[in-house]
Structure 1
Amino acid sequence: MSDFQGILAIIMIFGMPVFIVGIVAYFRAKDRAETQKTVRMAIEKGQTLPPEFLESLQKTGTLKEKTPERDIRSGLILIAVAGGLCVLDFMHGDFMFGGLSGVAAIPGFIGVALLIMGIVGKRKA
């Protein structure tokens, strides 16, 4: 029975992210289809579309612009993730900057870099 549980755990670990991304993609596609249907019906009825609505359609799906505030926020989140991994490693009882603490260094250093970029960007602006 333990082999089945191991295989099930591996399937869950790799399958859940795929499942979550699939659900997000499905609902985005459904939302786009509804928007296109609404626009098509408005055009068929001869209604004019306001410029604000057309601008909002163009902005949908585009990446948000990078700002120093976004860098600071992302940096703080990554530092918090690294801190959480370190605390988890400490609670496990073998806190010696190995294991999870070593893995925590990756998001930690990326977070510190983003934090520095955000602070420098704010000072320039």
Structure 2
Amino acid sequence: MRAETAHRAPLLLPLLTAVLAWAAWLGWDGERDVAPDGTVSGPYQVWQVLGLVLTVGAAVCWSAHRGRPLAAVAGSTAGLTGAAGVDWAGDGDGLFVVGAALVAVGALVVGGLLAAATGALTRRS
């Protein structure tokens, strides 16, 4: 059973990291920021999104380095998309589906590029 768990780790680590990172970096912040001129932004700040990207990116690199780039991308994409969908589902306007789909596309693209770069660097060394 232990070998089976180790075999699944490159998929599970990015998935669990993505869900927990979403909760830690973004899940607690739901308030929009209103500027003095009345414009509304947020709820997330740049540093929060950057923290999420770096945290999940580290898990993707770990899995890709272990020779499982597809598992890395699949796990992180599923985790981020699921977390976004659950977090945004309460907005009431139904647009959370569009937002979650955009998160999925972004996670696939960025995760794929990161996993490919990590794989290429791993093969060189």
Normalising by structure 1, what TM-score?
0.32
Normalising by structure 2, what TM-score?
0.32
**Which structure exhibits the higher relative contact order, with contacts defined as CA atoms closer than 8 Å and separated by 6 or more residues?**
2
Question: Which of these two proteins has the greater Rg computed from alpha carbons?
Answer: 1
